[in-house]
Structure 1
């Protein structure tokens, strides 16, 4: 498995994979994916068509309510907007490799935290367990305008 920067050639499968998991991550189309990738700090894929990661930093032009929650409370972080692994590839360490690469890059660039949110309603216990194993701890909660509830997580980096 290779991890590399996302390219336009990846868009079709990234959109399909994202939409297959939109309950957790929200809908995705070509225009939205283009805007996300252009504004991102790091957008990567695990090939062949295994998964993807899209992240932002506080100065990114992005207005997700979850991202804004962190911007209003923290200064020096990388926000994981979405990380998705294909169903047939789960349990193979792909998400962990994407995260570990992000941790290393963010730490090298001087960021203090990697942050994200996980749905608490509807619940996502597999994601809760995975993020806890990575050392992520809860730092807040919110109920969004769409009725979803989320738990905000943070992992401190060794800067």
Structure 2
């Protein structure tokens, strides 16, 4: 089995959209415009390929954007600097391969050299004990709850401290910046963090 985790390409978007919209109740549906917003503005948007087949994806955004998700906005109101995991989707055929943990290790590595906090939310209605346990064992703690709109589900807002960030900040970010190494790089030239972020039509979290 050959596994690759890489930045999304534009030609992946149709497959990503289809995968998102068959994921079930725990993932809010997207349309093409919403997915295009993520392609143009998400700080982290990577896909997993297994033997050349799209097996999953994870989308995350840094603070400072104009993303309309009520959960992203909750974190924006409470924390000055964070990476927010909007959604992670694994194709049914590739579940139980450990891809969730691989993605979380990867986004953790992306976040800890940029911000002090990794955040996300999980639905409590319906509550999935496997998802709650997964996040707890990965170091997330509940920092709040809210209901998504008047009739939306109750969610648990989770955050994970990234203790390595202080070293990176003091040693690199406050001086010459991160070294020019591939594993430290952000997304490609089609993306620039903080540039003319547009509002996402509607609002929607991840899982």
1:95 to 95, 100, 106: 100
2:45 to 40, 43, 48: 43
Q: Which has the larger radius of gyration?
A: 2
Identify which range, 133-142 or 14-23, moves more after superposition. 14-23
Counterparts of 1:45-84 in structure 2, within 5 Å, are 45-47=47-49, 48-84=53-89
Counterparts of 1:8-157 in structure 2, within 5 Å, are 8-47=10-49, 48-109=53-114, 111-145=115-149, 146-157=151-162
Identify which range, 19-28 or 6-15, moves more after superposition. 19-28
> Cα RMSD between the aligned structures?
1.1
Per-residue CA distance 1:104-158 (angstroms, 9 max, x = gap): 111122x111100000011122211111121111111011213201000111112
CA distance in structure 2 between the aligned counterparts of 1:75 and 1:25, rounded to whole angstroms: 26
Deviation at 1:22, TM superposition (A): 4.8
Deviation at 1:26, TM superposition (A): 1.0
CA distance in structure 2 between the aligned counterparts of 1:27 and 1:142, rounded to whole angstroms: 20
Q: Is the 8 A contact 2:23 2:91 kept in 1?
A: no
**TM-score (norm. length: structure 1):** 0.94
Per-residue CA distance 1:13-61 (angstroms, 9 max, x = gap): 1111111125222111221101122121110000121110111111123
Deviation at 1:92, TM superposition (A): 1.0
CA distance in structure 2 between the aligned counterparts of 1:60 and 1:92, rounded to whole angstroms: 33
Q: Is the 8 A contact 2:13 2:35 kept in 1?
A: yes
Contiguous gaps of at least 5 residues in structure 2: 166-207
CA distance in structure 2 between the aligned counterparts of 1:37 and 1:134, rounded to whole angstroms: 27
**TM-score (norm. length: structure 2):** 0.73
- Counterpart secondary structure, 1:82: strand
Please list every run of at least 4 consecutive aligned residues from structure 1 whose deviation after the TM superposition is greater than 2 angstroms. none
Query: Which structure ranks higher in relative contact order (CA pairs < 8 Å, sequence separation ≥ 6)?
Result: 2
Aligned length: 158
